[in-house]
Structure 1
């Protein structure tokens, strides 16, 4: 049973004339008659009674009409939905974001919705580990995160920007007169750091381990705003990517050198899957944002 056969049946039912129906459908009468006959063969029952040149619905035809109409209407609605989807008149976008990139997503989502207000955007925050699991379960369209330490062959990585790692303290701390700081000079400072599971924490741990240095950790927190509130007390320092703190005041951020520490912001998605238009349009916006003059550095 084909959709066109249902359309032919419905038009013939409305006009009760194969010649007129064929004319409106821009097909020959023989084609119309043949297609309806094939439909009747498949259904194992006649839908029309042929009385000379006149036709009328059989009882089966009357009963079948409602189902045919629902099928054609549903298909037309589906076609319209897909047209709307391609025209960004409907649809949804599911984005996973690490806490460190909240400012990036806040700015770009506002720009996206200003252009495409009918798209429903879902934003899920989490650690890189949590978000990658959701991505692999197809619960997210893509992730905004920092570069993974061990890349997965099933993932696709799109670099966005580089963000230096900085030591952060309060304006009243000893950092107020410091322009740069070496990694080894951080060893004895009282630190409040992201909890284990955050990619930033793993990065920090690896850097200090490779330099045979220890971390003087006083507090571990899984919430960046709380981490910065602790820093503002003047009792603790923290280490984050500069991107993370670009919308915070009342703190001092000093670049870390020897070695210089740098994180790479990425879009991570699953390889070889269909990229819907909402995703590709969002990629354009975030690429434009991250490549504008120093938005995230």
Structure 2
């Protein structure tokens, strides 16, 4: 039995589609089919029930999933440890980032690459739930996001900073001098908001429902940078975490009042899995960035 066979098996068990699995593995479907047949022959069991329309795990296949996951994870941990012994002269750090963390990530990754030019950084931008799912499937090493209301017991979260949901306005806006705002204060303004499902929007939606207020929303976007551009170029405002504009001197974020608007920025990794030295260095640089900007 080879690790390659187990990796291929796990990808098919995840997708339940040989065609899709082969695409994600960057191999031909015939190669994948042959590899799975070889594994079945070696184990003396059938792992998948297959017909022209559907693929299902057999009882033996379901039993193998857990063992295969543990074996592949142990092998990856071993490889990560060996890579770290080369003092970060090679290797890859796979980071999942929500769009609210995009500006911070760009700054920190720039410094990381200066210090460790031979370590490759692979960054994925998705919604928090999707990133945590990828982390749990060992497809990411680290996730940077706000702390969700509910999170898998497999995940360990290091709290980086306390944050607050804020109304983002230009520095010369009539609201810019206010120390804080209520939802009633902004009910008559026009907004470009983060898309539904993003953490800032989740927090905002809970506040709006609790106070029975609806905002005048004209635009919804799933990326923070265009939202900030709209605030600069139009009369629309947006609502993001206050830290999202920490490095944009022409904009400011006025905190929304209430404990319900608080947010916690976190560095998520998997429990019980070897954490790469590169991940520890990324965490150190993040803490330095946060201390510099007094977040």
Task: Please tell me the TM-score bracket, short chain as reference.
Answer: 0.5 to 0.7
- Equivalent positions of 1:170-249 (< 5 A) are 170-171=170-171, 173-249=173-249
- CA displacement at 1:102 relative to structure 2: 1.6
Q: 1:85 to 1:109 in 2, by over 3 A?
A: farther
Indicate the residue corresponding to 1:120 in structure 2.
120
Indicate the residue corresponding to 1:159 in structure 2.
159
Q: Answer with 81-90 or 197-206: which moved more.
A: 81-90
State the alpha-carbon separation in 2 of the partners of residues 172 and 207 from structure 1.
Answer: 27
Structure 2: runs of 5 or more not aligned: 1-77
Coordinate RMSD, CA, aligned: 2.4
The answer (yes or no) to whether the contact 1:142–1:267 under 8 Å persists in 2 is: yes
Larger radius of gyration: 1
The answer (yes or no) to whether the contact 1:104–1:296 under 8 Å persists in 2 is: no
State the alpha-carbon separation in 2 of the partners of residues 126 and 196 from structure 1.
Answer: 13
- Equivalent positions of 1:253-264 (< 5 A) are 253-259=253-259, 261-264=261-264
Q: Answer with 221-230 or 150-159: which moved more.
A: 221-230
Matched pairs, number: 217
SS of residue paired to 2:89: coil
- CA displacement at 1:296 relative to structure 2: 5.5
TM-score (norm 2): 0.66
CA offset digits 1:173-206 (Å, max 9, x no partner): 4324433212332233221100112111111101
The answer (yes or no) to whether the contact 2:84–2:276 under 8 Å persists in 1 is: no
Are 1:141 and 2:149 matched, yes or no? Answer: no
Structure 1: runs of 5 or more not aligned: 1-77
Q: 1:258 to 1:144 in 2, by over 3 A?
A: closer
The answer (yes or no) to whether the contact 2:92–2:119 under 8 Å persists in 1 is: yes
Are 1:270 and 2:270 matched, yes or no? Answer: yes
TM-score (norm 1): 0.66
Q: 1:236 to 1:84 in 2, by over 3 A?
A: closer
State the alpha-carbon separation in 2 of the partners of residues 188 and 258 from structure 1.
Answer: 20
SS of residue paired to 1:174: coil
